[in-house]
Amino acid sequence: MIEINLLPAKVKKAKKMQVFYLAGIFAGFLVLAFFVGIIVVKNSQIKEIDRKIKSIDAESATLQDKITEVKKFNLMEDSLKSKRKITVSLLEEQAVWIRLLDMIAENIYPDMWLTDVAHDRVKETGIIIRISGLSSSRAVFADFLRRLEEEENVSSLGITRIGLTDKYGAGWIMFEFNFLYNTVKGTKG
Three-state SS for the chain is CCCCCCCCHHHHHHHHHHHHHHHHHHHHHHHHHHHHHHHHHHHHHHHHHHHHHHHHHHHHHHHHHHHHHHHHHHHHHHHHHHHHHHHHHHHHHHHHHHHHHHHHHHHCCCCEEEEEEEEEEECCCEEEEEEEEEECCHHHHHHHHHHHHCCCCEEEEEEEEEEEECCCCCCEEEEEEEEEEECCCCCCC
Q: Is residue 61 part of a domain?
A: yes
Same domain for 78 and 124, yes or no, is no
Same domain for 98 and 163, yes or no, is no
Closest CA to 143 of 104, 188, 108: 108
Same domain for 23 and 80, yes or no, is yes
**Are the beta carbons of 120 and 181 closer than 8 angstroms?**
no
Same domain for 79 and 24, yes or no, is yes
Same domain for 36 and 76, yes or no, is yes
Predicted local distance difference test score (pLDDT) of residue 83:
92
**Are the beta carbons of 113 and 174 closer than 8 angstroms?**
no
Boundary (domain end) residue, out of 84, 107, 130: 107
**Range of 38's domain?**
12-107
Q: Is residue 1 part of a domain?
A: no
Same domain for 148 and 122, yes or no, is yes
- How many structural domains comprise the chain? 2
Same domain for 87 and 127, yes or no, is no
List CB contacts of 109: < 8 A, sequence separation 6 or more.
135, 140, 143, 144
Same domain for 101 and 142, yes or no, is no
The dihedral formed by the CA atoms of 125, 127, 133 and 136, expressed in degrees to the nearest 10: -20
Boundary (domain end) residue, out of 73, 107, 141: 107
Same domain for 96 and 151, yes or no, is no
Boundary (domain end) residue, out of 107, 134, 154: 107
What amino acid occupies position 38? I
Same domain for 89 and 22, yes or no, is yes
Q: State the Cα–Cα distance between residues 162 and 165, nearest whole angstrom.
A: 10
Residue 130 neighbours by CB distance under 10 Å:
15
Same domain for 117 and 97, yes or no, is no
Same domain for 101 and 53, yes or no, is yes
Predicted local distance difference test score (pLDDT) of residue 78:
93
Could you read off the pLDDT tens digit of each residue along the chain, which spans 189 residues?
666 666 677 777 888 888 888 999 999 999 999 999 999 999 999 999 999 999 998 888 888 888 999 999 999 999 999 999 988 887 777 778 888 888 899 999 888 989 999 887 777 778 899 999 999 888 999 999 999 999 888 888 888 898 888 776 677 889 999 999 888 765 555
Q: State the Cα–Cα distance between residues 7 and 57, nearest whole angstrom.
A: 72
What phi, psi does 110 have (nearest 5°)? -65, -30
Predicted local distance difference test score (pLDDT) of residue 82:
93
